[in-house]
Amino acid sequence: MSASLRRARIFACLLDALICVALADAGALALTAALWLWLPAARGLTSWVWLAAGAGAIAGFLLRDVHGGRARRWLALEAIDRDGKPPGLAGSIRRNLPLVVPIWNIWDAWPLLSDGAAQRRADRRRGIRVVASA
């Protein structure tokens, strides 16, 4: 059970990242195409479009657990706090911030990599668990 839970949790994290990046990239590509086709004088704004897309992808990833996790629901998992509710806005940011910071992400996720049922370090401090949903 531990190995399958570990795979499901890692897959959910990667799937959430893919969703955030794909949506941000699609929007940025459409806006870049519109700038190049219809507003050639504004082509200099392209770098700002992609900067905003990157910020949007990071924000989407940080907020992925507001309602328990997008990809986790597809995999019948959910993140819950001590009260049995999803972490909420601030809880989601505090929970996912370590995953976007290099080195900190490895340190935070290491318990999960060795045991799929283990809590990440950020989760342990805040009382958040990832459980199989019914």
pTM of the full predicted structure?
A: 0.87
Q: Residue 1: what pLDDT?
A: 54
Distance CA 101, CA 120 (A): 15
Q: Which two tokens stand for residue 102?
A: 């290099």
pLDDT digits (tens, 9 = 90+) for 78-118: 888 889 899 999 999 999 999 999 999 999 989 988 887 88
Compute the average pLDDT of residues 52-75.
90
Domain regions of the chain by residue span: 2-132
Q: Residue 2: what pLDDT?
A: 76
Compute the average pLDDT of residues 51-79.
90
Tell me, what DSSP letter sits at residue 78?
E
Statement: residue 67 has pLDDT above 80:
yes
Q: Find the helix or strand (DSSP H, E) in which 132 lies.
A: strand 129-132
Angle CA(101)–CA(63)–CA(71) in degrees, nearest 5? 100
With tokens 């049922």, the residue in question is: 117
